[in-house]
């Protein structure tokens, strides 16, 4: 049985984007990027909403392959190898390989996918749906040394009972890994 992971870079006050929708303050350094790569390497399928997909599809650009070897190229290869499901009512089509478009989030279909592979859910809105359906098994956050004062919350606005698995400093971030209590 696979696991559904929610991972994000967040501000110290718990936001993944500020009030203007920007997250440039969360740019990962090489150590964080390497840790993210290691976490995502076993993921077989990414679950995205439209906005996250529109950001992430840049990893399909072959220009990345012309750059120096390292964590960026490694991430691009990890991302390209995985399946991707984009949930959107407004996106007309998907343009990346190994990607399919679904018009609505179906918890039963995600449960069935978990029987065969590890999954990662990207984006606060879609993650909130996955948390609400009790599908998320792991929460991993990289906490940036900045408070942004408001914006898009990293976690849903509902009670979430967690057990701490790991915590450590990675680069300028603090990494925390929790499992969701069942």
List pLDDT tens digits, range 76-98. Answer: 999 999 999 999 999 999 999 99
66: pLDDT confidence band, cut at 50, 70 and 90? confident
pTM: 0.94
Closest CA to 50 of 6, 99, 109, 112: 99
**pLDDT band with cut points at 50, 70 and 90 for residue 139:** very high
Question: Over the chain, what is the mean pLDDT?
Answer: 96
Domain 4-140+153-180's class? alpha beta
Q: How confident is residue 109, by pLDDT bands cut at 50, 70 and 90? A: very high
- Residue spans of the domains in the chain: they are 4-140+153-180
Q: Which residues of 28-50 are buried (b: 16+ CB within 10 A; e: fewer)?
A: beeebbbbbbebbeebebbbbbb
The Cα 50–Cα 33 span in angstroms is 23
């Amino acid at each position: 049985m696979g696991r559904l992971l929610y991972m994000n870079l967040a501000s110290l006050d718990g936001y993944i984007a500020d009030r203007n929708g920007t997250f440039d303050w969360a740019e990962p350094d090489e150590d964080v990027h390497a840790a993210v790569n290691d976490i995502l390497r076993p993921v077989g399928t990414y679950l995205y909403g439209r906005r996250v997909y529109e950001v992430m599809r840049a990893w399909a650009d072959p220009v990345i392959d012309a750059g120096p070897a390292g964590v960026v190229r490694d991430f691009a290869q990890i991302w390209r190898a995985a399946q991707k499901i984009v949930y959107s009512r407004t996106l007309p089509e998907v343009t990346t390989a190994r990607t399919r478009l679904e018009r609505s989030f179906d918890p039963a279909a995600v449960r069935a996918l978990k029987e065969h592979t590890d999954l990662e859910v990207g984006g606060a809105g879609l993650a909130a749906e996955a948390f609400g359906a009790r599908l998320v098994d792991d929460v991993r956050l990289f906490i940036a040394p900045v408070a942004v004062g408001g914006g898009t919350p990293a976690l849903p606005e509902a009670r979430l009972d967690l057990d701490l698995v790991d915590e450590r400093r990675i680069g300028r971030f603090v990494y925390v890994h929790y499992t969701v209590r069942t």
